[in-house]
Amino acid sequence: MGYRKLGFRSDHRRALLRNSVTSLLEHEKITTTETRAKEISSIADKMITLAKKGDLHSRRQANSYLLKDDVVYKLFSTYSERYKERNGGYTRIIKTGVRKGDGAPMAIIELVD
């Protein structure tokens, strides 16, 4: 299959993931459901790998996906330096229990230090 549908149409799912990845890279930690966290983790890892390349094409690819220019700047300046010695595995998912309203399994996704 390749990816999770998350119960949304393709345009809504893409918008949700773009917003979530931008928020994760901006705040370094977000709380969401486990399945969304797994999808966000793979995309965020790809964004950080783009930042480690550091060329103009990678910057334009990241800029076309992320929603805020200051997050793209932070990605290419801060995260590329922080993870230059690390080969993948830039995010951590911590399971936190279930959501009170509907019982959805929740998780915290954060960038490792």
Mean pLDDT in residue range 27-56: 97
Beta-ladder partners of 105 = 98
Per-residue confidence (pLDDT) for residue 31, from 0 to 100 = 98
- Amino acid (one-letter) located at 11: D
What number does CATH give the domain 10-111? 3.90.1030.10
Interacting residues of 66 by C-beta distance below 8 A, sequence separation 6+: 18, 21, 22, 25, 47, 72, 75
Check if the beta carbon of residue 79 is closer than 8 Å to that of residue 51: yes
63-88 average pLDDT score: 96
The confidence band for 113, taking pLDDT boundaries of 50, 70 and 90, is: confident
Q: pLDDT band at residue 105, thresholds of 50, 70 and 90? A: very high
pTM assigned to the model = 0.94
Q: Picking from 2-11, 15-24, 56-65, which range would have the lowest pLDDT averaged per residue?
A: 2-11
pLDDT band at 51 (very low <50, low <70, confident <90, very high): very high
Contacts of 92 (CB under 8 A, 6+ apart): 109, 110, 111, 112
Assigned token pair, 25: 């890279």
pLDDT at 1 over 70: no
